[in-house]
Structure 1
Amino acid sequence: MTEELSGNDLVARTLRDQGIEAVFTVVGGPVIEAVAACGAAGVRPIGARHEQAAAMMATSFGYVGNSVGTALLASGPAVTNALTAVHVAWDNSLPLVVLGGSSSQRQRGRMPFQEADQVTLMRPITKWSIQVDSAERIPEIIGMAYRKAMAGRPGPVYVDLPADVLSARVEKERVRPAPAGPPPQPPQGDPAAIERAAELLLRAERPLALVGKGVRWSESHEELRELLEVLGVPFLPSPMGRGFIPDDHPLCVSAARGHAMRNADVVIVIGARLNWIFGGGQAFAPEAKIIQIDIEPEEIGLWRDAEVGIVADIGSALGQLLSAIEGRAEGMAALRQESAWRHELREQVAKNEAAVEPLLNSDATPLNHHRLMREIRDLMPRDAIVTVDGQITFATARQIVPSFTPASRLNSGSNGCMGVGVPFAVGAALARPGTPVISINGDSAFGFNGMEVETAVRLGLPIVFVVDNNQGIMGSVLERQMFPGEHPDAVAMYTPGARYDKLMEAFGGHGEHVERPEEIRPALERAFAAGRAALVDVAVDPAAIWPIPTAGRSGSRLMGY
């Protein structure tokens, strides 16, 4: 007798055959049986509290694990709840496959339960958005989805699974298999462009490298480090490009970011985008020569004209550059170590670090953000994964909290979305078991997905969550700016004295509350030693906003507009 398989079985088997270890979900129709089938097939279902968080967990699980994250969601509102997470993945070029249930094809147009054109909703923020039209095509289309998510510039893909397709049964012989051939070889850079880039780097008097998270997918951090060390090129990492070369490497000039960008004469951009994070490329000197390496052709010269554009896989291009400079760079690192450019950068680093020193060591109460970040920096293990969420929290942590290992720094990247910190931490902890994970969140940012601390407790993940609690969106600064006089309702500020540690304790995790500087380190030590999910709620001065300048800026300008 011919074996028959349901669409639900085919979803689970296809995910297993694609090497998918976990799917993130909020269980609901019509995917309940598909989630159950995943569990039976050895694909671990992870239940979240909200679909946005589930898709964010999947995204970070894939990024930290160098794979494609997968979310398996119910229909209608479940899919629309995930739109924000998909937008974050789209903006940050992070691979993600979202499998969304939908109403039966046979009932379309009759207003069946939760009917929505989910394919169209997802299309503008995905690389591919498609509905499976028959059960026999489930393996074929899901397999294509994973290929598309990782091909070229990575990104999210949406696959719509109607209820009748999932419940249909099909003879095994009729099933169209997933693409099975090996992926193509990573593209190489044009040899002439590689040689021109090598010449510019060898002749530069004030070279600088910008390092982005694009180096993650080719696992090329060793080649990256070798190239910069051989040439003696200082570097600036993007917010999620940190850790591929340790932040304490002598070539890292993050503390002199502005000076380095304004004064470099040759800038090589490696796996980063010259978007708003780097001032659209306009922060560089007008005469600076730009070398761009990117796998996406349209990225070359998009924000700033490139002297040399190399369309290639990052790892391939770095290998080609190393070959191109072989025998031509002897002694260059030592020479540049003593150059005027490096002395200038070291002086600027020392000056900028000295400027924040009083804040780092302040014993004032209420606490400032910098003292909190210093205590985290001094205690966190070197191999820790750090997620950061919130505007002031993000800006301060960028100055103070380092990263030392590849794919260990997660934040909203170029998207600026609030609410990523908690779910990113959960996904990261699942992707790299046994690695310490610390999630630093502003209280506003924490509120978006804070219920996912229950998920961390339930899954036994010993994540340390820190809430930088300044009682509102940018503390009291934005509220005062919007309403300088009396106003009956708090709009950008929250309930004074709110205790987020109590939320963690209610779920069975470890909670700590801190109000004084000397209490921070002991509280963090107890949190790391707790052996279960922990949350340290730190009361911070609502008026403390530096390093974000406020003078003469509107509220929207403070938010980056």
Structure 2
Amino acid sequence: MVLFRPLCKYVARVERLRDIVPTVREAIKAAKSGCPGPVFVEFPVDVLYPYELVVKEIGFNPNAKGFIQKALNFYLRCHVSRQFGNAWLQQTITPLPTNVPMPKSEQIQEIVQLVKSAKRPVLLIGSQATLPPVKPSDLVKAVEALGCPVFLGGMARGLLGKDHPLQMRQVRKDALKDADLTILAGTVCDFRLSYGRTLSKKSKIVALNRNYSQLTKNEKAFWNSNVSVQADVATSLVQVANSLGSNHSKPTEWVKTLREKDDEKEAANAKKMEQKLSNGFLNPLNFLKTLDQSLPDDAILVADGGDFVGSAAYIVRPRGPLQWLDPGAFGTLGVWWRFCSRCQTVYPKRPVYIIWGDGSCGYSLMEYDTFARHK
């Protein structure tokens, strides 16, 4: 249990059968509240066996004569009574309400004023923006209402579809350098943003995140926020968009400038994709380009790897929201087969593609045997 506490939001051990339902309800609530994360519930083996088997195997001595044997029988009866007592009483099994932090109206108004005064805003959207309660379609409308250039990361990839005019892919560094307002919508200032050092010192910064630790990561060391809001990311963006109204002046010239730079970078990358490698091996960039051109609109992409997936993130374009799954920032390789099997279970008629790096392959190649045995 000590091993799991630093890694999990909730850790518990079930010692009585009547505690199974309330413990699992609390675990699910903890997993889904705030910033979703892992929980751990231990079920000791003695709560998994039926009553009759436990009574039979626990070691009662029906012919106990001495004090010690009778005392042991008494202890064992008390243990069984405690373990199974009230186990069959009716219990509430409906999910407990989750706790999702919401923005305050004054925080939203602060952000609105910054957006109105900005000439070169940039919006960085991370995985948290895809979480309920806001639907992806409503988030897309909010992003379009803001009208600023967007960079997507993590599971937010695909939010705007394949070729949305606001989404940029190749010029994030240039955009952050010239921006006068940077909105970190679920994006964390870790190694992916050089711990915040890529953010312009001249830019106003708005940080939105459900988790306080992620919200303030490396702040004061390499960057400083003007507005920090610990709240649901998508809800915050929707409220900002609604407060701006239909008369909001969108930075169309700024979007046009970045679009031209992004297209130039895309063209330069396209030339690299066509190059033949001197060793005669397959050009991975060309392969990813070919894959992108052949993807159906309902494809679900499971990207599991390191450098190969890093390249795929800039070349392969998910066709819609929640159609990109990857191991996350810490490179927990080998998750592809779990993602794929669950995706195929939920969407049996949709194609699921694996973008698979060699490291992940080394961790989990044997899972093909699992698929073969359980197909």
Task: Determine if the TM-score, normalized by the shorter chain, exceeds 0.5.
Answer: yes
Matches within 5 A, 1:9-48: none
Say if 1:193 and 1:321 are closer, same or farther in 2 by CA, change over 3 A. Answer: same
> Residue 269 of structure 2 aligns with which residue?
356
Which of 294, 306, 311 is equivalent to 2:230? 311
How many Å apart are 1:307 and its aligned residue? 0.8
Letter of the 1:272 counterpart: T
> Residue 140 of structure 1 aligns with which residue?
22
Residues 1:154 and 2:36 aligned together: yes
Matches within 5 A, 1:448-459: 448-459=363-374
> Residue 79 of structure 2 aligns with which residue?
none
- Bigger relative contact order (CA 8 A; separation at least 6): 2
SS of residue paired to 1:120: coil
Which of 199, 211, 225 is equivalent to 1:284? 199
Structure 1 unaligned blocks of 5 or more: 1-118, 461-561
SS of residue paired to 1:177: coil
Say if 1:266 and 1:385 are closer, same or farther in 2 by CA, change over 3 A. Answer: same
Distance 1:176 1:262 in 2: 61
Letter of the 1:197 counterpart: I
Residues 1:191 and 2:105 aligned together: yes
Q: Is the 8 Å Cα contact of residues 239 and 398 (structure 1) preserved in structure 2? A: no
Say if 1:121 and 1:310 are closer, same or farther in 2 by CA, change over 3 A. Answer: same
Say if 1:133 and 1:178 are closer, same or farther in 2 by CA, change over 3 A. Answer: farther
How many Å apart are 1:194 and its aligned residue? 0.4
Identical residues among aligned pairs (%): 26
How many Å apart are 1:251 and its aligned residue? 0.6
> Residue 72 of structure 2 aligns with which residue?
none
Distance 1:188 1:344 in 2: 34
Residues 1:373 and 2:288 aligned together: yes
Q: Is the 8 Å Cα contact of residues 359 and 368 (structure 1) preserved in structure 2? A: no
Q: Is the 8 Å Cα contact of residues 139 and 176 (structure 1) preserved in structure 2? A: no
Distance 1:247 1:362 in 2: 25
Matches within 5 A, 1:74-89: none
Q: Is the 8 Å Cα contact of residues 243 and 405 (structure 1) preserved in structure 2? A: yes
> Residue 115 of structure 2 aligns with which residue?
201
How many Å apart are 1:176 and its aligned residue? 7.7
Letter of the 2:168 counterpart: V
Distance 2:270 2:246 in 1: 43
Q: Is the 8 Å Cα contact of residues 272 and 285 (structure 2) preserved in structure 1? A: yes
Matches within 5 A, 1:44-443: 119-167=1-49, 169=51, 170=84, 175=89, 177=91, 180=94, 183=97, 186-218=100-132, 219-304=134-219, 305-329=224-248, 332-333=249-250, 336-337=251-252, 339=253, 341-363=254-276, 365-443=280-358
More strand per residue: 1
Structure 2 unaligned blocks of 5 or more: 52-83
TM-score, structure 1 as length reference = 0.57
Letter of the 2:198 counterpart: A
How many Å apart are 1:345 and its aligned residue? 0.9
Say if 1:283 and 1:176 are closer, same or farther in 2 by CA, change over 3 A. Answer: farther
Q: Structure 1 segments of 4 or more deviating over 6 A? A: none
SS of residue paired to 2:4: helix
* Alpha-carbon displacement from aligned partner over 1:42-99 (angstroms, at most 9, x marks no partner): xxxxxxxxxxxxxxxxxxxxxxxxxxxxxxxxxxxxxxxxxxxxxxxxxxxxxxxxxx
TM-score, structure 2 as length reference = 0.83
Distance 2:305 2:4 in 1: 26
Q: Is the 8 Å Cα contact of residues 215 and 315 (structure 1) preserved in structure 2? A: yes
How many Å apart are 1:210 and its aligned residue? 0.8
Further displaced range: 208-217 or 162-171: 162-171
Say if 1:291 and 1:454 are closer, same or farther in 2 by CA, change over 3 A. Answer: same
* Alpha-carbon displacement from aligned partner over 1:370-411 (angstroms, at most 9, x marks no partner): 111111111111221111222221122112111122221111
Q: Is the 8 Å Cα contact of residues 144 and 178 (structure 1) preserved in structure 2? A: no
Q: Is the 8 Å Cα contact of residues 301 and 352 (structure 2) preserved in structure 1? A: yes
Q: How many aligned residue pairs are there?
A: 336
**Highest Rg: 1 or 2?**
2
